[in-house]
Structure 1
Amino acid sequence: MATYTAADGAVLHADVLGRDDGPTLLVLADGAAAHPAYLGDLAGMGERYRLVVPHMRGVGRSRDAPLASRWDQADDVDRLRAALGLDRCTLVAHSAGTRLAVAHAARFPGRLAAQVLVTPPAEYLVDVPSDAAALLAARAQEPAVAAALAALEEEPDLTDDDTFTAWRVRSAALGYARWDATTQAHARGMRYAVAAARTYMAGETPADLHERLRAVTAPTLVVAGERDVSTGVAPVLAVAGLFARGEAVVVEGSGHFPFVEQPAAFRAAVDPFLARVLA
């Protein structure tokens, strides 16, 4: 566990996993809502890299820190980079955690060495028709998917983190390409923080965001799940085009969590990119 101090004096925390002598990756979990434990070591990436995984404001060991939007928490990421003694950092971000990665890239482009954006939400970034509805229609008759859709139709109980987490778990089957023992166990291990999620998503997208992202010269890999009904595939792949050195890859047989569902294929997609850019 590492600690670092934010600009407002808040003491924030991060898990440190993997090889102490490996290249450092800053790993950003889903939004500020999910406790980062669900990431594990990203399909064994800790065997090669040092993974530094911040507990974002309102989550886990940083639970008592004042809450902030993703645009403001970009400064926290840069503070963590500095605390680790890195001139530039390499980010791996998952799901809504990519919103923070995008905010960081827009605010601190010169301090980014490379980034991997795994199944990013894309609707606020690109105007590309989504194929998510078609992907969902192909699975609508699966009992687990039908039950998850019924759960989504309920009003989420925002009373506290436990009730919100229970609602999210009931709809979790939509996040995976298959609903088996592995994915069910992974879904049951997810934990969410309601207040952190609300504040994280607050704030207007900067009007010049696209111009800022086009100025980012750090290599960027965008990873899509072939059967991701959360984001679709086409909009996710289009995100790579926002960056001067963007590229994209699709992990077949995967939904929103390729490092859980298809760990070997996920590593086959990500490892060559990181080896190339970190060299």
Structure 2
Amino acid sequence: MSLHYDVLGEGGPVVTLAGGAARHPSYLGDLAGLSGLVVPHLRGVGQSPSGGAGSYWAQASDVDALRSQLGVERLVIVAHSAGTRLAISYAAQFPSRVERLVLITPPATYLISDPSDAAKLIDARRGDPAFDTALQAFEAGPDVSDDDAFNAWNRATAPIGYRKWDVAEQRHAAIGRWDLAAAQDYFSVQPPADLPSRLGAVTAPTLVIAGDSDCLTGFAPVIALADLFPHGEVAVIEECGHYPWIEQPAEFRRAVDEFLARPPRT
């Protein structure tokens, strides 16, 4: 399937996968000024049509079709949150076609056995009125009666994703609409049970970026994820939640720029 994609800046290409799941990729912006971004609209999101095979495991084929369209042998992939599920699925299915991976605040408990410390991080934030209100909505679960209700729930729970809830965070949280049907399709098929072991064949350098105050993913599981990759490493962004390019842009760029600037492995 041919995906619509946006190109931001010169250079690259750096294929950039949004999370959500199924959130319009406009919320990524240019990732604090990264250039050469190729940002696909995933199936059923934005200007890309929906259709069968919409799970994150199946959409790996769409990513490879994009690679062919871009005319490159291997991809540099930057992915955020639920988008890292697709990036990891692609790497597992097409390991020789990955040049580098950057996984930003990835969910990891589906891949590793390490217990999550998200509850501890949440407890540390209790007492903040905006956070407490958002947590109550989060614990009630999403309203999937229609697109508007689903988007309203995501907006109501947004403060959980940030270390603080100031003007910049509030403005960012308002960007990018979710598509309910696409989100449901995204999780419609589970990846193979041996997915964690398959990542041992992904020899591309892999950078996992963790926010030390990420109440959505926890911190410990994200750190542990890097160990599944032969050349995995971690960059910890302090005083940061789920959106490091918004919350700590300088530290985020420092980590990503240094990683992408390294000479390729031979």
Instruction: Indicate yes or no: 2:215 matched with 1:229.
Output: yes
Q: How does 1:137-156 map to 2 (within 5 A)?
A: 137-156=123-142
Structure 1 counterpart of 2:3: 12
Structure 2 counterpart of 1:264: 250
Deviation at 1:158, TM superposition (A): 1.7
- Note the alpha carbon deviations across 1:76-98, whole angstroms, 9 max, x for none: 00110110000100000000100
Structure 2 counterpart of 1:106: 92
Is the 8 Å Cα contact of residues 50 and 182 (structure 2) preserved in structure 1? no
Distance of 1:195 and 1:162 partners within structure 2: 12
Instruction: Indicate yes or no: 2:83 matched with 1:94.
Output: no
Structure 1 counterpart of 2:105, from 108, 119, 122: 119
- Note the alpha carbon deviations across 1:88-125, whole angstroms, 9 max, x for none: 00000000100000100000000000100000001111
Structure 2 counterpart of 1:238, from 218, 221, 224: 224
Distance of 2:188 and 2:173 partners within structure 1: 26
Give % identity: 55
Structure 2 counterpart of 1:33: 22
* TM-score normalised by length of structure 1: 0.92
Deviation at 1:207, TM superposition (A): 2.2
Is the 8 Å Cα contact of residues 6 and 40 (structure 2) preserved in structure 1? yes
Instruction: Indicate yes or no: 2:180 matched with 1:197.
Output: no
Deviation at 1:217, TM superposition (A): 0.5
Mind listing any 5+ residue stretches in structure 2 that lack a counterpart? none
Structure 2 counterpart of 1:214: 200
Q: How does 1:67-78 map to 2 (within 5 A)?
A: 68-78=54-64
- Note the alpha carbon deviations across 1:171-227, whole angstroms, 9 max, x for none: 100000000000001111231011101111121221221221001100000000011
Is the 8 Å Cα contact of residues 20 and 178 (structure 2) preserved in structure 1? no
Is the 8 Å Cα contact of residues 114 and 277 (structure 1) preserved in structure 2? no
Deviation at 1:277, TM superposition (A): 4.7
Is the 8 Å Cα contact of residues 161 and 192 (structure 1) preserved in structure 2? yes
Structure 1 counterpart of 2:144, from 158, 164, 171: 158
Is the 8 Å Cα contact of residues 148 and 173 (structure 1) preserved in structure 2? yes
Task: For 1:108, give the aligned amino acid.
Answer: F
Is the 8 Å Cα contact of residues 54 and 185 (structure 2) preserved in structure 1? yes
Distance of 2:264 and 2:186 partners within structure 1: 30
User: In structure 1, the residue corresponding to 2:125 is in which secondary structure?
Assistant: coil
Deviation at 1:23, TM superposition (A): 2.3
Mind listing any 5+ residue stretches in structure 1 that lack a counterpart? 1-5
Distance of 2:217 and 2:105 partners within structure 1: 7
Task: For 1:160, give the aligned amino acid.
Answer: D
Instruction: Indicate yes or no: 2:169 matched with 1:183.
Output: yes
**Structure-2 change in CA distance of 1:43 and 1:36 (3 Å):** same
Structure 1 counterpart of 2:12, from 23, 47, 50: 23
Task: For 2:27, give the aligned amino acid.
Answer: Y
Which aligned segments of 4 or more residues in structure 1 are displaced greater than 3 angstroms?
63-67
Structure 2 counterpart of 1:79: 65
User: In structure 1, the residue corresponding to 2:233 is in which secondary structure?
Assistant: strand
User: In structure 2, the residue corresponding to 1:249 is in which secondary structure?
Assistant: strand
User: In structure 2, the residue corresponding to 1:144 is in which secondary structure?
Assistant: helix
Deviation at 1:153, TM superposition (A): 3.4
Structure 1 counterpart of 2:46: 60
State the number of aligned residues.
265
